[in-house]
Amino acid sequence: MVQKRSTQQQKRSTQTQKRSPQTPEQHAIVRWTAGLGAITAAALAQHMDVTLASARARLAACERAGLLKRTSVLAGEPPLYTVTSAGLRAAGVKGVEPCRLSAANAPHAQACAGVAAALERAYPDQRVMGERELRHEERQAGAPLASASLGDSLHRPDLVLWPNDAGRGLPVAVEVELTVKAPQRLTDICRAWARCGQVAGVLYLVAPEVERPLARAIERAGAQQQVLLVGLDALPSLEPGTRGRSDPGEQAFESPVPGDA
């Protein structure tokens, strides 16, 4: 038994030695992943303005270092990467737990990562925050920062666009909708956003089948001035290395705030 235990310890020691030293860049990737919950190589490529192959290599290195976990949840879809507990400790991230992926939430997590990266490219003067990071920030503040009151609870957006210059006004909430919610639920959420004084407006990025039901909910809630509805296919599809160049898809994103359109 002692010999077996000693052998296992030697194996763990050897595996640790084989891991390359962690880098500040890897810790930055961990922090970005932690805030969003999960990312893909394509999203990281846009976020870092590198090639897809380079992004994959960086993610593989983070996985080998024990900072990220690679999960293939959906057949035919790219793998998703989530932070590990060791990764959170190494990067100094507090107040956020590793994301648990399932077949039910993986499509939304994948979409949010892509949207976050695309918004960063469309609005380089603003910072994109994920729902998990927002939840932590609001706990620290003891008050809602970019969430809407919905009954006795808070409804948090999937993402938030924060102006880098605090003097430029309120943040913009971003919702990513892939499936149709119950009509009353949609209306209640839109009405809550219409009454929310914490954000300058709400940008809904939706799948084609969601557009009509959500448009009706926005109208019923009287939220046309606060909520902007845009199809996911209008997202800027910039290739790495083209940050800041004009793209036809960006025309729908000239102003993320409904009232400024």
Establish how many alpha carbons lie within 13 A of residue 185's alpha carbon, considering only the half-sphere containing its beta carbon: 5
Contacts of 50 (CB under 8 A, 6+ apart): 44, 58, 240
pTM of this prediction? 0.84
Average pLDDT over residues 11-23: 60
Regarding predicted confidence, which is higher, 132 or 9? Answer: 132
Residue 143 CA to residue 14 CA, distance in Å, equals 47
Residue 167 predicted with pLDDT over 90: no
Closest CA to 113 of 199, 46, 28: 46
C-alpha neighbours within 13 Å on the C-beta side of residue 66: 12
Short-list 87, 98, 80, CA closest to 19: 87
Domain extent listing, the chain: 1-104, 105-261
Q: In the predicted model, is pLDDT for residue 194 greater than 80?
A: yes
pLDDT in tens, 59-106: 999 999 999 999 998 888 999 999 999 999 999 999 999 999 999 999
Architecture of domain 1-104: Orthogonal Bundle (1.10)
**Residue 51 in this model has a pLDDT that exceeds 70:** yes
Q: How far is CA 201 from the centre of its chain?
A: 18
The pLDDT of residue 241: 45
pLDDT for residue 59: 98
pLDDT digits (tens, 9 = 90+) for 119-158: 999 999 999 999 999 999 999 999 999 999 998 899 999 9
* Per-residue model confidence as pLDDT tens digits over 201-219: 999 999 999 999 999 999 9
DSSP the chain: -HHHHHHHHHHHHHHHHHSPPP-HHHHHHHHHHHHHS-B-HHHHHHHHT--HHHHHHHHHHHHHTTSEEEE--STTS--EEEE-HHHHHHHT--S-PPPPP-TTTHHHHHHHHHHHHHHHHH-TTEEEEEHHHHHHHHHHHTS-SS-EEETTEEE--SEEEEESSGGG---EEEEEE-SPPPHHHHHHHHHHHHH-SS-SEEEEEE-HHHHHHHHHHHHHHT-TTTEEEEEGGGS--PPTT-TTS--GGGGGGS-SSGGG-
